Amino acid sequence: MDLAYLRAHPQHLPTFLTHQRIRETPVGGGDVCHASRLTLDDGTSLFAKSWPDGAPPEGFFAAEAHGLRWLADAGAVPVPEVLAALPDLLALEWVEPGAASAAAAERLGRELAALHRAGASRFGAAWAGFIGPLPQDNSGDPGPWSQWFGEHRLRPYLKISADRGALPAADVAAVEKIIADLPEYGGDEPPSRLHGDLWPGNVLWAADGRAWLVDPAAHGGHRETDLAQLALFGGPPHLDTILSAYAQTWPLADGWRARVPVHQLHLLLVHTAAFGGSYRGAVRAAVDRARS
């Protein structure tokens, strides 16, 4: 199997893997999927993802494929090409890792602004969503952002977190108060084209001198959410350079820094919902910063 054959017959990839006709090397791929590097007969490398135990949730890999293609359509930030999107397997263009440079960070800031500016027809997306291992409600909503964000991005993961005991009642009540007060935080904007899960681990600093975006939970949302997620978990290298280049390209609305913890609550609640109470302190800290 070479790249031309794969493009024409992506459905045959699992058969070639089963019969060990393709060299497969495990690589790090995160907490959710099994990841490997595949080498085709013509020397082309692919990045492949599969579910580690049994079949993935229905539509899991399709959601990522839709998101990558939608982000690529903007022609703004590099994302891996989707080469095979099957129910149990996703194969993508291989991106050779490289060093994180200030020049790449500056370019990323400008490209993120261009991506967001490409816009979306609504909040949500035209396909069923996932973020990490969890479903994400992408049903369309005209907004305003504050109403959509509370009902589709915060409350579902708050409920899961509460039901599994990852957040105590006091923290649940505190997040509910943030949801009720979202219109007061301001910053409502039309939907932007978002990566949607832009924590620093989903920025791939590549050997071509650019920063690529991987593992999206893409949808139409508020551009401040992408930027707030980027600052989580220590942030990426050269974060100040990224934000400065972004602001020079498309300035953010007044008060955006004070809204950062509000936007971060989405991904933090996903973590308590998916991985448990070890992220409880981060949720509470974001709530306290948002209310200060």
Gap between the Cα atoms of 163 and 158, Å rounded: 9
Closest CA to 198 of 266, 146, 123, 283: 266
The confidence score (pLDDT) of residue 105 equals 98
Strand partners, 135: 130
Q: Measure CA of the first residue to CA of the last residue in the chain; give whole Å.
A: 58
Q: What is the mean pLDDT of residues 5-27?
A: 89
What secondary structure letter does DSSP report for 215?
S
Strand partners, 90: 49, 85
Which two three-digit tokens encode residue 56?
């993935």
β-pairing verdict for 89-93 and 192-194: unpaired
What are the tens digits of pLDDT across the range 60-84? 999 999 999 999 999 999 999 999 9
- pLDDT tops 80 at residue 121: yes
Contact 91, 120 (CB under 8 A): no
Gap between the Cα atoms of 192 and 76, Å rounded: 13
The confidence score (pLDDT) of residue 155 equals 98
What are the tens digits of pLDDT across the range 194-244? 999 999 999 999 999 999 999 999 999 999 999 999 999 999 999 999 999
Gap between the Cα atoms of 151 and 154, Å rounded: 6
Contact 224, 117 (CB under 8 A): no
Closest CA to 137 of 157, 120, 119, 165: 157
pLDDT, the chain, mean: 95
What secondary structure letter does DSSP report for 24?
E
Gap between the Cα atoms of 155 and 104, Å rounded: 36
The confidence score (pLDDT) of residue 186 equals 86
Q: What is the mean pLDDT of residues 23-49?
A: 89
β-pairing verdict for 211-213 and 203-205: antiparallel
The confidence score (pLDDT) of residue 18 equals 83
Q: Which domains does the chain have, with CATH numbers?
A: 3-93 (3.30.200.20), 102-291 (3.90.1200.10)
Strand partners, 270: none
pTM exceeds 0.85 for this model = yes
